[in-house]
Amino acid sequence: MHCSGTCFKVVFGEQIKNYLEESVKSRSHFLPIAVIAMALLLPVLAGAQDSLPRYEAGFQFTGLRLANPIGESAAGLGGRFGVNFNKYLTAETEFNRFPSASSDFGENEALFGVKLGVRTDSGGIFFKARPGFLTFPANGALHGRGLTDSTEFAFDFGMVAEKYVGQHLLLRLDAGDTVVAYGGQHILDTSQPGGRATTLGTTSNLQISVGVGIRF
């Protein structure tokens, strides 16, 4: 029996629907779901081009709270660069440096991902999803407490609010959860009486940034 394009779409669509339902039930496969969602949205968004400036660049002040058992906070500075595909979708990269003087450790953070949302002439609100990594100095305080790896996988997701001043200036506020995967490493938990070695695993860490940028 001949199967038309419509038949293929029905069968293929049903397979995607079943996959998404199973993934949600198991709370796994987050990244594949995100990729599928992007793939479905891109053809729609691609037709929404306007006079939006193509590029964005800026810098930010950022604060990161590494949850227990690390239990440390740091303030840092960073920069970012983005490419606007249209008024809904932007690919961006961000780098932050947390000086050791701001806490008991020094670290670098690099993120690469997208922000997806809506904007008007005066501002916008977006969801962001950006994988990347955190690096810690090999001779830092955290290694003294038992951290063995200097580079850890990180995934930043949360919300972005932007305010546009004229055509080229923007103000930006980020609030999100920077998930860090330490694996089976152990660290001395100083929040416990006398301190004890605790498995790090995967932690959720609050990160807030305030920045300014230009659009061109």
Same domain, 74 and 40: no
Q: List pLDDT tens digits, range 52-102.
A: 899 999 999 999 999 988 888 889 999 999 999 999 999 999 999 998 754
Write out the residue range of the structural domain in which residue 87 sits.
55-215
Paired tokens of 166: 């004229």
Q: What is the pTM of this model?
A: 0.72
Say if CB 106 and CB 140 are below 8 A apart.
yes
In terms of Cβ atoms closer than 10 Å to its own Cβ (0-12, 13-18, 19+), residue 172 is buried
Average confidence (pLDDT) over 105-132: 94
Same domain, 143 and 102: yes
pLDDT, greater one: 192 or 94 = 94
pLDDT, greater one: 183 or 191 = 183
Same domain, 177 and 118: yes
Same domain, 76 and 135: yes
Residue 50 lies in a domain: no
pLDDT band (50, 70, 90) for residue 46 = very low
Q: List pLDDT tens digits, range 1-45.
A: 555 555 544 555 565 555 555 544 444 445 555 555 555 555 544
The CA-atom distances, in angstroms, between 36 and each of 29, 73, 114, 117 are: 11, 35, 14, 17
Number of domains in the chain: 2
Confidence at residue 2, expressed as pLDDT on a 0 to 100 scale: 54
Least confident of 3-17, 116-130, 145-159, 166-180: 3-17
Same domain, 16 and 89: no
Of residues 94, 109, 91, 89, the one with CA closest to residue 59 = 94
In terms of Cβ atoms closer than 10 Å to its own Cβ (0-12, 13-18, 19+), residue 170 is buried
Same domain, 67 and 130: yes
Same domain, 12 and 60: no
Residue 99: CB atoms within 10 Å: 13
Same domain, 40 and 79: no
Instruction: Report the DSSP pairing between strands 151-165 and 55-66.
Output: unpaired
